[in-house]
Structure 1
Amino acid sequence: MKVLLYSENQKLFQKSGVGVALKHQMEALKRAGVNFTLNPKESFDIVHINTIGPGAWRLLKTSKRRGIPVIYHTHTTYEDFRNSFLFSNLAAPTIKRLLKKRYGAADYLIFPSKYTQETVRNYAVKTPGSVVSNGVDIEKFRKNEKLSHKFLETFSIKPPVILNVGLPLKRKGIHEFISVAKQLPEYTFVWFGAKFSALQPREVRNILKHPPKNVLFPGYVPSEILLGALSAADVFFFPSYEENEGIAVLEALSTECAVLIRDIPVYREWMHSGKNCLKGRSVPEFVDAIRKLIENPSFAKKLGKNGRKTAEERSLEKVGAKLKKIYEELLGGGL
């Protein structure tokens, strides 16, 4: 069995969640002993598509004509496309129609979460599928004191540190992040993620150019710096309005960082406020939660320990085993 893992414009997507998800698939399949390729010109027995562009559509059609099963990974939804880049809201209805066509034409769908499964089903897409986490490398994302000190020294930061990771978008809650930072000037707020400034609305560009004195936007950074930041952070504050799972959240959980998230449906099944995270719905609630975590380190540590257990349930080894089973059953006619 040989699987084609397909993603268009890999250089463009490598700094996004889809790019990280593809890397996770590659590593998960290696650990599961599944042969794969990224080159559509090679021979393969099954296609696993991650993007929704014209190249993916051509591949889907040619593969089906050849009798090769096609799996579509539902990383993109109408809901998470909105409030992203310039003109994304205008394009969102067109994207929704495109998604219905793409996902509806596949042989099988993989959903990153139960929430995404419910969302796509609401598009009247009947294609069979199952939920498989994007996963996290729990061996790589372990708290690392050496890298923690290096991060603090490199950026000349004094704790407490409040961290976020992701593209700085309106959908990701950048406005609330700034509002919370203004109310907590004694803390340092850091947001890692590629800026793509030319594609951002003016209001977001202004935030990136003129943040408050206690807010840093260093942009996209290598994984070693990211691990150092997660190890040093007192709170991982992720106020995103819409996610299909949240790989950045998984990475924070894996490093035992106390996590504060917006109370949105995607977390309903697996993130529990007071157990492995805290949740909020407004700037005042986020401010109170951060103060609670900073002022009560034993409570923050408990959340971090429980968060690590949550991450372990979504290890790449477990993801690889699930993907292997799906491939085998699809090829064998069992799905």
Structure 2
Amino acid sequence: MDPKAGGVSQAVKTMVKGLTFHNISSAIVSLDDVEIRKDYVGFDLIPIGKGLTSWNYHSKLTHWLRSNIAAYENVIVHGLWQFQCYAILKSMSAAANTKIYVMPHGMLDPYFQKSAGRKLKAVRNQLIWSLIENRLINKVDGLLFTCETEKMLAHETFRGYRPRRELVVGLGVEKDSEDDSSMANEFRAAFPQIQSNGYLLFISRIHPKKGLDLLINAYLKLKKTIGNLPQLVIAGPGLETAFGEEIQEIAAQSPDIIFTGMLTGRFKWGAFYGCGAFVLPSHQENFGIAVVEALSCQKPVLISNQVNIWREIEAEGGGIVVEDTLEGVVELLSKWRALAASEKMEMGRNAEKTFHKYFTVGMAAKRLKEALNYD
């Protein structure tokens, strides 16, 4: 549940909050040390302790599940390819009247088996699928998906995929309700190198999957040819990684590319409220919580068609969608630059309408409640 690990932790947190609106209480059992509780005040978080190896093995998790699983009406296993799936599989005999669901969070996407940079991981996943994951997925009461595209893609990845039920429950994002102008001013004050509002904003992990290299190279290419572009602000953890260092070296060609590191709280929302548009040319994005957060702030989103919620956004006119290639991202930035101010404002209004139509916490909680068969 470490927030630095990506969007799943935020998704779980939001789902639990949403269910409380329907008087459904939840516990979160995670492979974290007890210090993680400081990030989850008000939640029933049970940290078992850090797991071992990349598989996250921890014998205490199986023991805890076997001792406690029967006390719960429903259990949702979040994510795949790690020890929690095996632990649940070994504990199902103790869950006579408990319904068990798996929420893959995009981890059945064929991208992960086909990507050139993941050959060893693809072999590992194929082995784990044969030994564990397919047995779990075909045995549990159902699979929960964040969008229709994720559900469709799950059929393309592995042989023997035969879940009992497939349920699209969506995912909601909790919109910040505080004063947007004050937070935008606080963010600008913290990063004075950002000269004005209207910048392009990337918020995500600094990771090859996110298409950040495409974004920076496209930005630099347009800078050389047309010159007049808004600043590009890049926020997220991972600057210290090999990829992060490589990205910063490329970006050093322009002083208008600004790195802030990971943003949270008022700084994160201030970054959203101050930007002109949000950009994420990802090679694979199951849902894109940051994309939806931008929509909630009335900000157009400039994304690739590998962000699984692109159809909803394009249909409502809340952003611009292109291929996840260098040419595609050049086109993306060029199209945004060519829009008149009035067209950008209209796209922003459409972005907020898209959020309210598809992605509020209340709507997602209602769908999840119905999927879990609560009266």
TM over 0.5: yes
1:58 aligns with 2:87: yes
Q: Aligned match of 2:123 in 86, 93, 103?
A: 93
Report the equivalent of 1:171: 209
Deviations 1:125-182 (A, max 9, x none): 22112112221113x2677111112112211111331001111122111111111221
Judge conservation of contact 1:172–1:239 (CA < 8 Å) in 2. Answer: yes
1:181 aligns with 2:219: yes
1:225 aligns with 2:263: no
Q: Aligned match of 1:205 in 209, 224, 245?
A: 245
Q: 1:220 to 1:103 in 2, by over 3 A?
A: farther
1:203 Cα offset (Å): 4.9
Report the equivalent of 1:118: 152
1:21 aligns with 2:21: no
1:101 Cα offset (Å): 4.1
Counterpart-to-counterpart distance in 1, 2:366 and 2:181? 32
Judge conservation of contact 2:171–2:364 (CA < 8 Å) in 1. Answer: yes
1:87 Cα offset (Å): 6.3
Counterpart-to-counterpart distance in 1, 2:238 and 2:114? 15
Counterpart-to-counterpart distance in 2, 1:64 and 1:325? 25
1:61 Cα offset (Å): 3.0
Superposition pairs of residues 1-335 of structure 1, within 5 angstroms: 10-11=1-2, 14-38=4-28, 39=46, 42=68, 43-52=71-80, 53-67=82-96, 68-75=98-105, 76-81=107-112, 88-96=118-126, 97-98=128-129, 99-122=133-156, 123=158, 124-127=160-163, 128-138=165-175, 140=176, 144-156=180-192, 157-159=194-196, 160-182=198-220, 183-184=222-223, 186-195=229-238, 197-198=240-241, 202-208=242-248, 211-212=251-252, 213-264=255-306, 266-267=308-309, 269-272=311-314, 275-281=317-323, 282-293=328-339, 296-313=340-357, 314-328=359-373
> Whose relative contact order is higher, 1 or 2, with alpha carbons under 8 Å and at least 6 apart?
1
1:22 Cα offset (Å): 0.9
Q: 1:283 to 1:210 in 2, by over 3 A?
A: closer
Gaps of 5+ in 1: 1-9
Gaps of 5+ in 2: 29-45, 47-64
Judge conservation of contact 1:80–1:243 (CA < 8 Å) in 2. Answer: no
Report the equivalent of 1:6: none
Counterpart-to-counterpart distance in 2, 1:265 and 1:148? 26
- Describe the SS at the equivalent of 1:241: coil
Q: Between Structure 1 and Structure 2, how many residues are aligned?
A: 313
- Describe the SS at the equivalent of 2:72: coil
Report the equivalent of 1:5: none
1:228 Cα offset (Å): 0.4
Answer with 121-130 or 68-77: which moved more: 121-130
Counterpart-to-counterpart distance in 1, 2:202 and 2:355? 17
Q: How does the TM-score come out when normalised to structure 2?
A: 0.76
Structure 2: which amino acid aligns with 1:70? Answer: I
Counterpart-to-counterpart distance in 1, 2:123 and 2:180? 44
> Could you tell me the percent identity over the aligned residues?
19
1:204 Cα offset (Å): 4.5
1:288 Cα offset (Å): 0.8
Q: How does the TM-score come out when normalised to structure 1?
A: 0.84
Report the equivalent of 2:52: none
Counterpart-to-counterpart distance in 2, 1:71 and 1:120? 15
Q: 1:29 to 1:64 in 2, by over 3 A?
A: farther
Structure 2: which amino acid aligns with 1:188? Answer: Q
Answer with 143-152 or 170-179: which moved more: 143-152
Judge conservation of contact 2:109–2:150 (CA < 8 Å) in 1. Answer: no
Structure 1: which amino acid aligns with 2:371? Answer: I
Report the equivalent of 1:3: none
- Describe the SS at the equivalent of 1:266: coil
Answer with 211-220 or 267-276: which moved more: 267-276
